[in-house]
Amino acid sequence: MTGPAHPRFLGAGNAGPFTLDGTRTYRVGRKRAVLIDPGPAGDDHVRALVAWMADAHDATVLLTHGHDDHAAAAPALARALSAPVVGPLGVPGVTSPVADGDVVDTDEGELVAVHTPGHTADHLCYHWPARRAVFAGDLLLGRGDTTWVGDYRGCVADYLASLARVRALSVDTIYPAHGPPLENAAAALDRFEAHRLLRVRQVQEALAGRPGAGAPDLLGAIYGDALPPGTEKAALKSLEALLDHVRGSAEG
């Protein structure tokens, strides 16, 4: 017997080093439906999403966090659909804030907000118990073993705790906003955790010989030649977060 089909998605066409094949806007629900992470602003993209929702009687726009590649289309889409924008408190455009444990109803099952900081401080995933799945936003990507974690002080510890929190949900499938589904959720969570812990160890080892080093001093030692063009600034922010994490742990 085969399991249920994956949820439908519409790609935003914004492929890049951080977005992989672009933002995937997932739809859950038939007549009472939500669109998760509508993606970047753009008239053509918004029109495509509106057309996709033409058969829904009750629409909701649902955000995991406020980065433009996830949320910029939300206000225009909400106006076109006469739909609320549901998401973390303080994200621009959100009209109905939700927090950890809040439920968003669809006719294909409830979506439960799970606070998963790390990528951003207010990041939410949405647990879909009916399908033993979770919509992960940018907590994980559909390819590789890393996502960007460098937004604020304490983000590395938060990120590791968020992976553990999603692991405790015991889901089978993870739907990232970028890249294909992760159909072995436990293995994916282990892989992303292992990568982050490797980076922590690399920074610890680098600081053992150069205790006063800053992020620019360590960029080559940690990343070598593996950085794609245009990602150096993000890598430096990630390194700053790792340095803060390692030094804070040592002081603690």
The dihedral built from the CA positions of residue 151, 176, 108 and 46, taken in this order, carries a sign that is positive
Yes or no: say if 77 and 86 are a contact pair by the CB < 8 Å rule.
no
Query: Of these residues, 69, 122, 151, 244, which one is catalytic?
Result: 69
Task: Provide the pLDDT for residue 226.
Answer: 76
> Maximum CA pair distance of the chain?
62
* Amino acid letter, 75: P
- CA atoms within 13 Å, Cβ hemisphere of 170: 1
Reported as a single tens digit per residue, the pLDDT across 213-232 is 999 999 988 888 778 788 89
Mean pLDDT of 180-206: 97
Reported as a single tens digit per residue, the pLDDT across 45-81 is 999 999 999 999 999 999 999 999 999 999 999 999 9
Six-digit token string for 21: 């094949």
Percent over 70 (pLDDT), the chain: 97
Task: Provide the pLDDT for residue 3.
Answer: 47
Residue whose C-alpha is closest to residue 39's, from 163, 160, 177, 154: 177
Yes or no: say if 82 and 67 are a contact pair by the CB < 8 Å rule.
no
* Residues paired with residue 32 on neighbouring β-strands, in sequence order: 58
196: pLDDT strictly greater than 50: yes
CA distance 54 to 31: 10
Six-digit token string for 27: 């739809």
Strand pairing class (85-87; 58-62): parallel
Task: Provide the pLDDT for residue 27.
Answer: 98
H or E, element range at 25: strand 24-28
Residue whose C-alpha is closest to residue 28's, from 86, 71, 68: 86
69 is catalytic: yes
What 120-123 contacts at long range (C-beta under 8 Å, 24+ apart), as own/partner pairs, is 120/65, 120/66, 120/67, 120/151, 120/152, 121/151, 121/152, 121/155, 121/158, 122/65, 122/66, 122/88, 122/89, 122/90, 122/91, 123/64, 123/65, 123/88, 123/162
Reported as a single tens digit per residue, the pLDDT across 135-168 is 999 999 999 999 999 999 999 999 999 999 999 9
252: pLDDT strictly greater than 80: no
* 2 band by pLDDT with thresholds 50, 70 and 90: very low
- In this structure, the chain runs to a length of 252
CATH topology (fold) of 8-188: Metallo-beta-lactamase; Chain A (3.60.15)
Mean pLDDT of 14-35: 96
